[in-house]
Structure 1
Amino acid sequence: MAISKAVIASLLVSLLIAHLVDSDHMDMVHGGIDGGMTRSLLQKIDCTTECTRRCKLSSRQNLCNRACGTCCERCNCVPPGTSGNEDVCPCYANMTTHGGRKKCP
């Protein structure tokens, strides 16, 4: 009886792991569970267009586009809107300069 319980428990754990791996794979293929805001490694975004959109209201557009472009290339993500919404792209939000200031606009 103890052997059958161990077999059933290991089977359930195996199914759980298989399910988690499959759902992670589907998130990468379909762009995530949040309606496409998460960028997969398979899909490269157009940083020039995204940064132009992000920086269109900036008073220093060249500086904003240059910083945004660097962040976009490293993170493959630019938050929606012209400011804020950085919780969508944690890599973008957490990048800092050598002086410890936020790098990404």
Structure 2
Amino acid sequence: MLLAILLEVIGSLSQFGAALGAGLAVIGAGIGIGKIGGNAVESMARQPEFASNLQTAMIIASALIEGVALFAVVVCLLIGLA
């Protein structure tokens, strides 16, 4: 009886931890992409002749950050569902 209750509590805690990890991954990705976008716009305002190069680099960096965040969310969801 006590073991069943303990296992149920541990299971719910692992689901909570997985949800918390997924949320933190998404928040971190949002902050990272926001910083990239803000700094890129500021750089384009200072030197408009490099705008196309900065835009390309910004899109690549944002895609890499988004990919890592998606991977983290998938891993957290797999842990939570297991």
TM-score for both structures, normalised by structure 1:
0.37
